Structure formats: structure tokens, C-alpha cells
């Protein structure tokens, strides 16, 4: 189950690229996964990095022309919309393993 943040970003990607819903969600999912992240626990900061660093390459592979402006548009939409960020409830593995050495 993806977060509302993932759904929102996929919807915006669909709008700015002309992808179908399936294509937009699939492309975003691939980019998120290749960043070592999970769509079900994605945060705004993580999504921003994915859109800036990985998404241009993914879009280029799928024949999108102006990849940077598409990503910038999605990022702008992200900043303008109040999206409920997924729980970063300090129980994800990174947080636990970050804390362990500070016991």
C-alpha cells in the first residue's frame, strides 16, 4: 500500500508527462525502488531526492523530452500541496540502527 505522497507524485507525473496512470505509477515505483526506498514509507525529503537525481534518467529512458522541467514541475506541485507525509515514527530500520550505537 503506497502512501498518499506516492499517489500524489504519481498523479502529477501523469499530468506532466502524458503517461497513463499505470505508466506514471510504474516509473515512479522503479525510481523509488532503485533509490533503496519503499513506496509505502516514502517521505517528502526522500521523494525530492528521487525526483532530482533519479527521475530525469528514468523519464529519458521512456522517451520524455524535457525531463528536467517535468521533474521541476512535479517538485513545485509537491511544495505547493500540503501532503500528509508518511509516518517517520522512528521505528524504521535506519532510525533503529542509527540509535543503537548511541545507547
Partner 1 sequence: MEVFEHIGSVASSLIYFALGSRLTLLGARTRSGAEWLIGLTFLSWGAYYALWFLSIGLHSQSALEFEIFITARAIDCLGMACFAFFPLLAFRRGSTWAKWLAASLAICVIAGIPGSSWAGDPKGVSPLTNFWWWLEWLGSVGSGVWIGVEGIHHYGITRARVRLGLCEPIVGHRYLLWGLAGVFWTLLDIIVIGQYVDFWATQTWSSALENLVGLLEIAALAMVWLVYFAPAAYQRKINAPAASA
Residues that bind partner 1 (CB under 8 A): 34-37, 45-46, 49-50, 53-54, 90-91, 93-94, 96-103
String of DSSP letters for 50-82: IIIIIHHHHHHHTT-S-HHHHHHHHHHHHHHS-
- Please tell me the distance from the alpha carbon of residue 29 to that of residue 55, in angstroms, as a whole number: 10
Q: How far is the CB of 22 from partner 1 (least distance, A)?
A: 24
Q: How far is the CB of 10 from partner 1 (least distance, A)?
A: 20
- Please tell me the distance from the alpha carbon of residue 19 to that of residue 25, in angstroms, as a whole number: 9
Q: How far is the CB of 48 from partner 1 (least distance, A)?
A: 10
- Please tell me the distance from the alpha carbon of residue 12 to that of residue 73, in angstroms, as a whole number: 8
Nearer of residues 80 and 103 to partner 1, judged by Cβ: 103
Nearer of residues 63 and 103 to partner 1, judged by Cβ: 103
Q: How far is the CB of 100 from partner 1 (least distance, A)?
A: 6
Nearer of residues 20 and 90 to partner 1, judged by Cβ: 90
CB atoms within 10 A of CB 58: 19
Element counts in the chain: helices (H) and strands (E):
6, 0
Nearer of residues 49 and 84 to partner 1, judged by Cβ: 49
Amino acid at each position: 500500500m503506497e502512501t498518499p505522497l506516492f499517489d500524489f507524485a504519481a498523479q502529477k507525473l501523469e499530468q506532466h508527462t502524458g503517461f497513463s496512470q499505470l505508466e506514471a505509477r510504474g516509473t515512479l515505483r522503479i525510481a523509488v525502488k532503485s533509490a533503496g526506498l519503499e513506496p509505502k514509507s516514502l517521505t517528502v525529503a526522500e521523494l525530492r531526492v528521487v525526483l532530482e537525481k533519479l527521475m530525469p534518467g528514468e523519464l529519458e529512458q521512456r522517451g520524455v523530452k524535457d525531463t528536467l522541467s517535468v521533474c521541476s514541475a512535479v517538485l513545485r506541485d509537491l511544495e505547493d500541496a500540503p501532503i500528509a507525509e508518511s509516518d517517520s515514527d522512528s521505528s524504521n530500520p535506519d532510525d533503529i540502527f542509527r540509535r543503537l550505537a548511541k545507547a
